[in-house]
């Protein structure tokens, strides 16, 4: 039998913030259950919290950066993809100004990601065109 | 006492619903205000099935009853509020007969609900998108605030106003400054002193002009002025109103970057797609609907060469000449704590590790966090800063039913799928579920009139588009009202919805548009 480890975390679906325990075997999630010590849910979970993790190991996950060439996506390295984006965004900023750029931030991502997202938008692109699905 | 308004808590926030139901068994009186006979009505003492979009008429009517009967909290109003006389005069134009006519709710029930809310020792209002997804969403929220201010049901245990957030980190994303008018720490962009502090800390000069909301961005795309869009973990092509229009707008962009876990319908349109790490693959924190900051931890490795979202953005910033050298999420969080010490100063990862969760404001390491805000409202004496009442008027939904489109369509979430289903479609096949495809929920009287059978495929059309969908006959909806969710991309409900928006928030009127329901002729 392979070793099973437990990781305490917080659910990523709705805004309730249920505490979850993830059981991991061979780098795969094998089970998710409610954390009894968690203040919000005291061990309970809904169907999404307990069973909504299978997408993580799906074959359909994006695995590499993709650049569209002649209408078709082709695999790229990080260096290629980020250089391409950097060149395009720099050109757009120079020609049209930062306000020709918009950022849709992600209300499912961490606070840390969101902080960096707005800092990128404001400090690098020099615009406040940043919003999320917060409104819906 | 709990006033639950525009929230199908059982489906959208199941664990919060469990706690409500448990409390109801112990004596909590729940009044449900919702056009649909949602599951929570079984645990409620009263259900006010108002017409879609008539919330303001109903709340004004409730406040009029409260003031007429002098059930409002006079000392609280005097010490904390301004413009009470204006509110009083305004809601006097919403007598019960008129409100009954607009809302379709029995006036005796409105009276009873007003009495229950006003005279309860402790009363709380929970709301969700049933309040905000209207062309008058902001006014709806103003009226909720008016009710709490009028009765003093705020700033004490068991009272207050609670918007139940639909995503795990809606609260946090806004608090971090992912809003066009707000900097990190919930501070307004207009605050030049704070802006200057940030400029020094970040070593840049910041643009002081308020940015565009998503709606405003789309308008600029329409005008050809928005050239580039960077989308992180969102699928607006399926999630936004008037889908066909949104698709056309995205095609007008010079450059679209999508950073996601999957090749979504939105990613298909992109020039570059970047693979991000997701939940269970990253370290960090989320802030829940209760201002509670909690840790999320890495459990497994990501697939392929996916990176943390913050790592991608940092590398890109560095390439573009603004070095960002973050090494860990903790390092970023510590910068957040320094940037917004009034909220997070005392919330180290170490403390979050030990204490599991902390509610902001938590300004220093010895601060226990703040479970209840606005407690100062209950201190004796007239306050220096008074909260003004904001009287608002009922305005009917932008698109009302007519001869050609005789039904009102209202949209929302269901229990099992999540949003555009990009993640929950991977449930194992063996998992028991109630629903595997979208339905249009229709009242038995309407179904009978149209000779539609349960489970039969029908056409639902609006002025913007048409979808084929299975009919589900149920008394959950009122006659002349149909309900659909937006979970299954195979039935893109948002080709039907209307691109009308609240002028302040930019939120679309997902909750009301006019549709026709037709049998598919064989």
- CATH classification of the domain holding B436: 2.40.40.20
List of domains in chain A: 4-57 (2.20.25.90), 66-135 (no CATH)
Residues B190 and B213 in one domain: yes
* List of chain A residues whose C-beta atoms are within 8 Å of the C-beta of residue B273: 62, 65-66, 73
The answer to whether A102 contacts B228, with C-beta atoms less than 8 Å apart, is yes
In a domain, B387, yes or no: no
pLDDT band at B361, cuts 50/70/90? very high
pLDDT digits (tens, 9 = 90+) for A74-100: 999 999 999 999 999 999 999 999 999
pLDDT digits (tens, 9 = 90+) for B477-512: 999 999 999 999 999 999 999 999 999 998 999 999
> What pLDDT does B242 receive?
85
Residues B141 and B180 in one domain: no
Q: Give A29's contacts (C-beta < 8 A, 6+ positions apart).
A: A22, A23, A53, A56, A57, B280, B299, B300
The answer to whether B16 contacts A16, with C-beta atoms less than 8 Å apart, is yes
Number of folded domains that form chain B: 3
Predicted ipTM of the assembly: 0.98
What's the half-sphere exposure (Cβ side, CA atoms, 13 Å) at B481?
21
pLDDT band at B59, cuts 50/70/90? very high
Q: Are B55 and B113 in contact (CB under 8 A)?
A: no
pLDDT digits (tens, 9 = 90+) for B82-102: 999 999 999 999 999 999 999
In a domain, B318, yes or no: yes
B133 in contact with A, Cβ within 8 Å: yes
* List of chain A residues whose C-beta atoms are within 8 Å of the C-beta of residue B141: none
A72 in contact with B, Cβ within 8 Å: no
B184 in contact with A, Cβ within 8 Å: yes
> What pLDDT does B365 receive?
96
Query: Dihedral, CA atoms, B163, B169, B174, B176, nearest 10 degrees?
Result: 140
Residues B198 and B268 in one domain: yes
Instruction: Kindly identify which residue of chain B lies nearest to residue A104, measuring between CA atoms.
Output: B231
Interface of B with A in 36-75 (CB under 8 A): none
In a domain, B377, yes or no: no
Output the domain CATH number for residue B223: 3.40.50.740
Helix then strand count (H, E) for chain B reads 19, 21
A79 in contact with B, Cβ within 8 Å: no
Give the domain-ending residue among B134, B149, B164: B164
In a domain, B465, yes or no: yes
- Looking at the DSSP bridge assignments, the partners of residue B473 are B442
DSSP symbols for A52-76 = TTGGGG-TTS--S-EEEETTEEEE-
Q: Nearest-CA neighbor of B359 among B284, B285, B293, B296? A: B293
Q: Are A118 and A105 in contact (CB under 8 A)?
A: yes
The answer to whether B424 contacts A104, with C-beta atoms less than 8 Å apart, is no
pLDDT band at B299, cuts 50/70/90? very high
Residues of chain A with pLDDT under 50: none
Task: Give the whole-angstrom CA distance, residue B459 versus residue B87.
Answer: 45
Q: Are B134 and B505 in contact (CB under 8 A)?
A: no
Residues B454 and B483 in one domain: yes
Task: Give the whole-angstrom CA distance, residue A52 versus residue A18.
Answer: 13
- State how far residue B493 is from chain A, nearest Cα, in angstroms: 15
pLDDT digits (tens, 9 = 90+) for B211-245: 999 989 999 999 999 999 999 999 998 888 888 89
Quickly list H helices, B182-242. 192-202, 214-222, 236-239
pLDDT digits (tens, 9 = 90+) for B243-269: 889 999 999 999 999 999 999 999 999
Give the domain-ending residue among B326, B359, B392: B359
Find where tokens 């204490």 sit.
B355
Instruction: Read off the tokens for A132.
Output: 């999320």
Rounded to two decimals, what is the model's pTM? 0.95
Give the domain-ending residue among B164, B188, B215: B164
Is the backbone peptide bond immediately before B361 cis, with ω within 30 degrees of 0? yes
Pairing of β A66-69 and β A72-75: antiparallel
In a domain, B378, yes or no: no
Instruction: Read off the tokens for A111.
Output: 């606070």
Q: Which helix (H) or strand (E) holds B232?
A: strand B228-232
Quickly list H helices, B378-442. none
Q: Which of B175, B211, B298 to mutate to test the interface with A (most CBs of A within 10 A)?
A: B211
> What pLDDT does A136 receive?
60
> What pLDDT does A1 receive?
63
Task: Give the whole-angstrom CA distance, residue A62 versus residue B282.
Answer: 16
Q: Are B55 and B105 in contact (CB under 8 A)?
A: no
Q: Name the DSSP letter for residue B276.
A: B
Residues B21 and B157 in one domain: yes
In a domain, B137, yes or no: yes
Average pLDDT over residues B336-354: 98
For the cut 90, the answer to whether the pLDDT of residue B300 exceeds it is yes
Residues B155 and B181 in one domain: no
Output the domain CATH number for residue B46: 3.40.228.10
Q: Nearest-CA neighbor of B176 among A101, A105, A19? A: A105
CB atoms within 10 A of CB B204: 15
Residues B64 and B194 in one domain: no
CB atoms within 10 A of CB B379: 10
Residues B155 and B203 in one domain: no
Q: Name the DSSP letter for residue A128.
A: -
Q: Nearest-CA neighbor of B227 among A125, A67, A84? A: A125
Residues B332 and B259 in one domain: yes
Residues B79 and B19 in one domain: yes
> What pLDDT does B166 receive?
92
In a domain, B66, yes or no: yes
Residues B478 and B495 in one domain: yes
In a domain, B389, yes or no: no
Average pLDDT of chain B? Answer: 97
Domain that holds residue B511: 407-519
Instruction: Read off the tokens for B15.
Output: 């664990």
Residues B354 and B264 in one domain: yes
pLDDT digits (tens, 9 = 90+) for B405-452: 999 999 999 999 999 999 999 999 999 999 999 999 999 999 999 999
Instruction: Read off the tokens for A66.
Output: 């993709």
């Amino acid at each position: 039998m392979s070793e099973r480890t437990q990781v305490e975390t917080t659910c990523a679906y709705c805004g309730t913030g249920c505490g979850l325990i993830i059981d991991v075997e061979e780098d795969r999630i094998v089970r998710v259950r409610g954390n009894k010590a968690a203040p919000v849910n005291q061990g309970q979970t809904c169907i999404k919290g307990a069973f909504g993790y299978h997408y993580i190991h799906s074959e359909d996950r994006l695995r590499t950066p993709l650049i569209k060439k002649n209408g078709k996506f082709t695999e790229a390295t990080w260096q290629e993809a980020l250089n391409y984006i950097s060149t395009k965004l720099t050109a757009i900023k120079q020609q049209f100004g930062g306000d020709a750029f918009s950022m849709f931030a992600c209300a499912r991502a961490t606070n840390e990601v969101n902080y960096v997202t707005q800092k990128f938008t404001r400090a690098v692109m020099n615009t406040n065109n940043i919003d999320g699905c917060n409104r819906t | 006492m709990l006033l639950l308004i525009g929230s199908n808590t059982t489906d959208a926030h199941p664990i919060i619903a469990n706690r409500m139901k448990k409390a109801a068994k112990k004596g909590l009186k729940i009044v449900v205000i919702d056009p649909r006979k949602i599951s929570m009505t079984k645990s409620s003492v009263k259900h006010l099935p108002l017409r879609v979009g008539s919330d303001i008429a109903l709340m004004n009517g409730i406040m009029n009853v409260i003031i007429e009967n002098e059930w409002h909290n006079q000392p609280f109003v005097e010490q904390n509020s301004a413009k009470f006389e204006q509110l009083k005069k305004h809601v006097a134009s919403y007598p019960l007969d008129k409100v009954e006519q607009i809302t379709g709710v029995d006036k005796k029930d409105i009276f009873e609900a007003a009495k229950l809310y006003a005279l309860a020792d402790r009363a709380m209002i929970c709301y969700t998108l049933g309040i905000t997804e209207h062309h008058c969403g902001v006014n709806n929220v103003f009226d909720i605030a008016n009710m709490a201010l009028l009765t003093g049901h705020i700033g004490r245990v068991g009272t207050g106003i609670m918007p139940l957030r639909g995503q795990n980190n809606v609260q946090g994303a806004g608090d971090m400054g992912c809003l066009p008018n707000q900097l990190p720490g919930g501070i307004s962009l207009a605050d030049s002193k704070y802006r200057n502090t940030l400029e020094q800390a970040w070593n840049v000069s910041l643009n002081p002009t308020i940015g565009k909301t998503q709606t405003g961005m789309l308008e600029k795309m329409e005008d050809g002025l928005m050239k580039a869009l960077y989308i992180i973990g969102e699928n607006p092509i399926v999630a936004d109103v008037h889908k066909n229009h949104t698709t056309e707008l995205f095609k007008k962009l010079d450059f679209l970057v999508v950073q996601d876990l999957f090749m979504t319908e939105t990613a298909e349109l992109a020039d570059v797609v970047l693979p991000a790490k997701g939940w269970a693959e990253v370290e960090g924190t989320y802030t829940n609907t209760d201002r509670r900051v909690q840790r999320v931890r890495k459990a497994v490795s990501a697939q392929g060469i996916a990176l943390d979202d913050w790592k991608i953005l940092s590398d890109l910033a560095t390439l573009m000449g603004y070095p960002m050298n973050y090494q860990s999420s903790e390092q970023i969080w510590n910068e957040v704590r320094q940037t917004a010490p009034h909220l997070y100063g005392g919330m180290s990862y170490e403390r979050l590790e030990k204490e599991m969760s902390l509610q902001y404001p938590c300004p220093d390491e010895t601060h226990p966090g703040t479970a209840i805000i606005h407690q100062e409202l209950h201190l004796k004496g007239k306050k220096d800063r008074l909260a003004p009442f904001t009287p608002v008027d009922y305005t009917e939904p932008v698109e009302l039913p007519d001869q050609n489109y005789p039904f009102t369509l209202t949209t929302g979430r269901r229990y099992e799928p999540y949003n555009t289903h990009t993640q929950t479609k991977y449930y194992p096949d063996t998992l028991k579920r109630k629903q595997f495809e979208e339905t249009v929920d229709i009242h038995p009287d309407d179904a009978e009139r149209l000779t539609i059978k349960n489970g039969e495929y029908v056409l639902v059309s609006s002025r913007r588009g048409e979808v084929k969908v299975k009919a589900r006959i149920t008394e959950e909806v009122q006659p002349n009202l149909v309900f659909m969710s937006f979970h299954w991309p195979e039935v893109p409900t948002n080709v039907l919805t209307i691109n009308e928006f609240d002028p302040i928030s930019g939120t679309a009127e997902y909750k009301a548009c006019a549709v026709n329901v037709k049998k598919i002729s064989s």
